[in-house]
Amino acid sequence: MKSDALAVVPTRPRKASIRSYLALARFDHATKHVFIIPGLILAYALREPPLDNAVITIILGFASAIAVASANYVINEWLDREFDAHHPSKQARVAVRSSLSPFLVYCEYAAFAAFGLLLASQLGTCFFWTSVAFLLSGLIYNVPPVRSKDLPYVDVVSESVNNPIRLTLGWTMIDPSTLPPSSLILAYWTAGAFLMGAKRLSEYRDISGAGGHEILHRYRRSFRYYTAESLTVSCLLYAMISAFFIAAFLVKYRLEYIVAMPFIAVLFSSYLWLALLRNSIAQRPERMFRSKRLVASLCLAVFALFVTSFVDMPFLYDLSRESFVPVDKLK
């Protein structure tokens, strides 16, 4: 049977080492903090604050974000160990294969959380409370009785909230006196939902395609309610809602950003294309930079946003004015 290839082979738990506990923190996932960078750029472009000690602030800010994210990863991997045992690749994770001490795991979580919040407290009130929200999002997503990752669609929406949180962290590093516009936050949130939805779609196609429906359901309860069609449609919905809020943001704050929209659309399309490939890196976002196509699309989109942030294009404002063609001119 096809599902036999996906069956979990019981192994004797290995004795945990210091390296085993550090692996829970998933420092290799730090690449996800690239989503902080647009917050830095947009805050400077739209607010133009003084950049006193900006380099030190940014270094401390990234260190804080990595520490808080690591705390979330620790609790995620520990509480998911029984579920990950049913996943073809995640069954190799440390929490599944090693005999870990619950006490040490929770101590590690507390240490990363405390260190991250300690650094955050040095960067202003907005940054600190955004970091607290970052930490709470991990608890809501992973810890019963809520454990939002078990609820269909809620799992995607609750996991993707980390995107606008990272955006806000970047913004408040540059301008600690304000928060990003709500249209930008919602655009970033739904863009994150698109990324997470594409990840779910890729996992569903790979595991169910190999005859592993039952294994898929044991790995993640929310998959009991998904189909390939529903996940594809949800990705389209998230992308369209994100585009709407991006349009609302650019019209209100800087019309030049409309020039970057085609590059952003290409970036969305590139990621969806990756998600439809077998054994896609969309299932492992920390490896997204291994795709040359995705990296090229991302670089073009970031470059377009950077240029349109600082280069004025007056002709766009002329084109945006109301314009009606008289019928007489058509004769």
Task: List strand residue ranges (DSSP E) for the chain, in order.
Answer: 14-15, 98-99
Question: Residue 209: pLDDT band by 50, 70, 90 thresholds?
Answer: low
Nearest to 220 by CA among 204, 236, 205: 204
CB count in 10 Å sphere of residue 199: 23
Letter for the amino acid at 278?
Answer: R
pLDDT tens by residue, 297-314: 988 988 898 888 889 998
> If you average pLDDT over residues 77-94, what whole number do you get?
85
- What pLDDT is stored for residue 1 in this prediction? 39
User: Where are the domains positioned within the chain?
Assistant: 15-179, 181-312
> If you average pLDDT over residues 31-59, what whole number do you get?
90
- What pLDDT is stored for residue 279 in this prediction? 81
- What pLDDT is stored for residue 283 in this prediction? 78
Which tokens in the block code for residue 211?
Answer: 């005859």
pTM equals 0.87
Nearest to 34 by CA among 129, 163, 132: 163
Question: Residue 216: pLDDT band by 50, 70, 90 thresholds?
Answer: confident
- Cβ 68 vs Cβ 112: under 8 Å: yes
Is 3 a residue whose pLDDT tops 60? Answer: no
Q: Cα dihedral sign for 168, 171, 175, 178?
A: negative
- Cβ 195 vs Cβ 271: under 8 Å: yes
- Cβ 159 vs Cβ 104: under 8 Å: no
Q: CB neighbours of 91 closer than 8 A, spacing ≥ 6?
A: 8, 84, 85, 97
Question: Residue 118: pLDDT band by 50, 70, 90 thresholds?
Answer: very high
Is 112 a residue whose pLDDT tops 90? Answer: yes
Fold of 15-179: Tetracycline Repressor; domain 2 (1.10.357)
Letter for the amino acid at 157?
Answer: V
